[in-house]
Amino acid sequence: MNKKHLTVKKLDINNLSDVMKLQEKIIKGLHPDEQHFILHRTEADYMKSLNGSNSNMLGVFDGETLIAQTVYCMPQNGESRDMPEFKPEIENKDLVLYEAILVDPAYRGSSLMKRMLEFIENHAIDNGRTHSIIQIAIDNPASWINALHHGMSITKVDKDPTDGVKVIYLEKKITHQPDDDKQLPPQKDSYYMYLGDNIHKKIPTLFNKMQFLIQSGYQGVSLDKETQSLIWEKQEKQNTNVLNLNLFMQNKKISSL
């Protein structure tokens, strides 16, 4: 592998054969318990994205070989979209959906997912999109950790309404802005969730903890490599609600005296 020869580009109908081969290679390399990570798409499914206007495909090539691919969608208002249960209040015209991200196992650890998400994000921003979302199986930590590295936040943890698989939903507000204008996440009310060396064994516990934290007003925002922890930050809106509740209870006590 020579990273200098890696190129990223949009895929079209001429890439269909390579797309199917890569999907087959990746699925064969997965343990049977992991195969639900991937939606097994048919040629007809991929055709909709390779020849679509709102659904697109992006690929990473090592020379002439396709080594990573993803489907992403920029739906229009009035259209049905994937993940309708997540962020229904945001108009379609403002959304970009990341879907079906596949990376050749031999190239994992090469930040290919990050490169594809950056490319798609820039394309989405150029088309007026302001919000990106993704759904990832909770027992696929490599993918949701990569999404966190890309700046996405975990804001919902639930079961997929179509198949009952435990999933994480992540989102990110996207916009072109200089680095100096980017706001750092709040440093107060942080919670470090230790992931440990064998994250797969802790999946059931992590799922319940994540649901509790989100219900308590936290969002998973980053990964601390030194402590092997997922960092959660309490959001200002929630803090305000808690403050208002405390004031209400104080006033209630005073009025009862």
| Domain layout of the chain by residue ranges | 3-182, 183-257
Query: Per residue in 19-52, pLDDT tens?
Result: 999 999 988 877 776 656 666 789 999 999 998 7
Question: Residue 2: pLDDT above 70?
Answer: no
Mean pLDDT of 168-196: 68
Confidence of residue 237 (pLDDT cuts 50, 70, 90): low
Would you state the pLDDT for residue 109?
80
Residue for token digits 């209040």? 89
Query: Per residue in 118-163, pLDDT tens?
Result: 889 988 998 899 999 999 999 889 889 999 999 999 999 999 999 8
% pLDDT > 90, the chain = 49
Q: Which residues of 53-86 are buried (b: 16+ CB within 10 A; e: fewer)?
A: ebbbbbbbbbeeebbbbbbbbbbeeeeebbbeeb
Query: Per residue in 122-131, pLDDT tens?
Result: 889 988 999 9
Return the half-sphere exposure (C-beta side, CA atoms, 13 A cut-off) of residue 73: 19
- Alpha-carbon dihedral angle through residues 108, 193, 137, 154, given to the nearest 10 degrees: -100
Confidence (pTM) = 0.74
Please state whether beta strands 131-137 and 166-173 pair in parallel, antiparallel, or not at all (unpaired): antiparallel
Give the number of other CB atoms < 10 A from CB of residue 137.
18
Residue 211 gets the label, from left (phi > 0), alpha (psi -120 to 50) or beta, of alpha
Asked whether the beta carbons of 75 and 54 are under 8 A apart, the reply is yes
Question: Residue 69: pLDDT above 90?
Answer: yes
Would you state the pLDDT for residue 177?
54
Indicate the class that CATH gives domain 3-182: alpha beta
Would you state the pLDDT for residue 176?
64
